[in-house]
Chains A and B, each alone.
Chain A
Amino acid sequence: MRRIESQIDTNSPDFKANHAAMSERLEEFHARQHAARFERPQRDIDRLARQNKLGVRERLNLLLDPGTPFLEFSTLAACREYDGAVPGAAVVTGIGIVQGREVAIHANDASVKGGAWYPHTVKKIVRLLDVALENRLPVIHICDSAGGFLPLQHGVFPDRYLGGRVFRNQVKLSQANIPQIAVVGGHCTAGGAYVPTLSDYNIIIEGTGAIFLGGPPLVKAATGEEVGVQELGGAVMHTSVSGTGDYRAATEEQAFSLAREIVSQWTRPPKTIIETAAFEEPYYDPKELYGIIPKDRKTQFDMREVLARIVDGSRFHEYQPDYGTTMVCGFAHIWGYKVGILANNGVLFNDSSLKAAHFMQLCNQNGTPLIFFQNITGYMVGREYEERGIAKDGAKMLMAQGGSVVPKFTVIANASYGAGNYGMCGRAWDARTLFMWPQAEIGVMGADQAANTMADVKIRQLEREGKKLSEEETAAIRDPVLEKFRRDVEAYTSTSELWDDGILDPADTRNALGMSISASLNAPIDDPHYGIFRL
């Protein structure tokens, strides 16, 4: 496979200006991520110490194989909700390695609001369990939660993808013969009691772990019975009397070594085999991405330059290089795994849509996973394109993309606007993982376009009422709308709402994709089949 010949001049003023802008953004991103992971009010840290509990990061250290990567999801979930007071949505999720085996991890962070489930906590857990189901990954739950956050109970409890879905997914995992372990390192109350009880194996830590449908205060209120935590649902009672618990651990350390021992007992189903090549680092330094991504989102850039800093050896076999050139399609390897890549080099036209649909069929036919690099402002509009059937060709692309049986992965590298988000495997289209770069934006349309549309409607309405607006009055209507839209399309809003699996430093993209692909091969790949293409 040939190496991409980069045309980038790393000494050019543009490169340096872009590099400076991206470095500034990344500094902010890393600072925010560090705060969400580690910075807590002293009283919460003190409380954990008083309760004789380890923090969630220390627990992960005990559980995971030393020196192995942990692909953490949605580190900044809920960063724009609850006044920023629920960092990471009070839960840590990700894919890690235990006893050499890829597992999905769901761990409550009791240093945030006692590990209470907020609406975004539930969303994050459900997403993790969906990842486990799609990729057939065993799950390790680390339970330590105060329970549902009552003031927001309707955002936590009743709907299809809320609390019940956590337990429903646990049932589906079990049904699909995907094992689960729960380590109970705090209270599992009410619904939370089902996390360990629906797991194949559970371990309760003596003194701190407890499982009950109703805790002591609730029991007192309901029946008048007075009973302590340990008698009601402690480790000794559950492992020797009720059979609700399987293993009793004297310490956190023992609990996690037991969990590791259990994982090592499992049979290892063979992983799906796809084409591979010898591992090769990219020839061009991934950190050069900082100078390639333009500081102004509207500036066009060549996605091949991005691919050259992500794929093995910077090697890329481009498919149909002279047709539908706003859509770059081709084969490459990441971590040695053969992949088919679709990357936007401009607006989607009829020919670029057809090319994408054709290429995806090709990859499904030969079992090659698909990776989408989004920088898409939409499908082309206008009379010429409607007459050529742009909506019909877009539908073909969606039919091929949505009907794909191979694993799909999405990186929102810059713009993700309108139906382009759909065609390029946006969140609704079952990418196994979907990551965003910090400067990227998601919206039905660009912030400027949306704000102008909204403001124009309002201004015309006022004009109909006979009001003539001065320039200042027009600005007073337009500016706040624009500000709101600019914020709404930002990556931080998307990641706060879990429309993605997290924001990535572009230089980490290669490894995040490598881990994602490796994890996806725990599930089989079906034979290709599609719906009806509107030809």
Chain B
Amino acid sequence: MRRIFQINGEETECWLSHDGNRFILNTPDGAHPCRLDPAGAPGGHVLRTRGRVQDLRLAVGPDATFVHMNGRTYAIGRVDPAERLAGRDGGAADDRIVAPMPGTVVSVNAKPGDHVREGQPLLDIESMKLETSLTAPRDGVVAEIPFAAGDSFGLKATLALLAPEED
């Protein structure tokens, strides 16, 4: 399985395979036969690869493995490929907050002209015995909040509008 590791902050893609006789470390610069044997002190190992024999010590944690070798410690973190390779760009956040279902406004916590931060509650609505807080999708300025506390609204009604983002 292809994996992504972060070694002292730098990402590298590699995976381990076995050709029936030995382990092969597949890296972007080619495949290298390798062999790791436990030796001596706790965590002590001997690594044989590319004609070299290297003593090292390993400490394995839940999120990272630490390799101590030649007087230096390397932190090797595992990076989740599904997360890493997911699109970084979620698309521009919408300016409009649309009613997810018909309901009633319980309270309004912002007014036109207010500067709001992403995640800041703009208004609370109630529908089907459940109160939901609707929050700003991005940092910005409130342009419009058409409903007041106590008002009813329909599905997909615009409940709040942010002023368009200026470039």
Contacts and interface: CB of A to CB of B under 8 A. Distances in A.
Given A2-B80, A2-B82, A2-B83, A298 B128 contact: no
A296 B82 CA distance: 37
Interface in B79-105: 80, 82-83, 100-102
Contacts of B128: 347, 377-378, 380-381
28 contacts: A2-B80, A2-B82, A283-B62, A298-B130, A298-B131, A299-B131, A300-B133, A346-B100, A346-B130, A347-B101, A347-B127, A347-B128, A347-B130, A349-B101, A377-B128, A377-B129, A377-B130, A378-B128, A380-B128, A381-B128, A382-B102, A382-B155, A384-B155, A415-B129, A415-B130, A445-B129, A446-B129, A448-B129
Contacts of B131: 296, 298-300
B43 to A, nearest CB: 20
Contact of A298 (B80, B101, B102, B129): B129
A445 B102 CA distance: 18
Contacts of A2: 80, 82-83
B12 interface: no
Nearest to A415: B129
B144 interface: no
B132 interface: yes
Contacts of A157: none
Contacts of B100: 346
A414 to B, nearest CB: 10
B129 A380 contact: no
A298 B103 CA distance: 14
Given A2-B82, A347-B101, A449 B129 contact: yes
Contacts of A349: 101
Contacts of A449: 129
Nearest to B106: A298
A70 interface: no
Interface in A315-337: none
Nearest to B102: A382
A417 interface: yes
A278 to B, nearest CB: 12
Contacts of A382: 102, 155
Q: What bracket does the count of chain A residues touching chain B fall in? A: 20 to 34
A300 B129 contact: no
Nearest to B156: A384
B126 interface: yes
Of B82, B129, B132, which is in contact with the most chain A CB atoms at under 10 Å from its CB?
A: B129
Interface in A422-445: 445
Closest 6 CB pairs of A and B: A377-B129, A347-B128, A298-B131, A300-B132, A446-B129, A377-B128
A380 B99 CA distance: 14
Contacts of B132: 300, 346
Given A300-B131, A448-B129, 14 more contacts: A2-B82, A298-B129, A300-B130, A300-B132, A347-B130, A349-B101, A377-B129, A378-B128, A382-B102, A384-B102, A415-B130, A417-B129, A445-B129, A449-B129
Contacts of A378: 128-129
A420 B102 CA distance: 18
Interface string B100-131: 11100000000000000000000000111111
Interface in A102-124: none
Interface string B129-164: 111110000000000000000000001000000000
A347 B101 CA distance: 9
A78 B82 CA distance: 50
B96 to A, nearest CB: 17
B126 A298 contact: yes
A347 B126 CA distance: 11
A380 B130 contact: no
Contacts of A381: 128
Interface string A255-291: 0000000000000000000000000000100000000
Interface in A1-18: 2
A186 to B, nearest CB: 48
Nearest to A445: B129
A18 to B, nearest CB: 14
Nearest to B131: A298
Nearest to B155: A384
Nearest to A379: B128
Contacts of B129: 298, 377-378, 415, 417, 445-446, 448-449
Interface string A293-318: 00010111000000000000000000
Nearest to B133: A300
Contacts of B126: 298
Contacts of A448: 129
A348 to B, nearest CB: 9
A368 B60 CA distance: 31
A251 B133 CA distance: 64
Given A415-B129, A446-B129, A380 B101 contact: yes
A299 B125 CA distance: 10
Contacts of A346: 100, 130, 132
Contacts of B80: 2
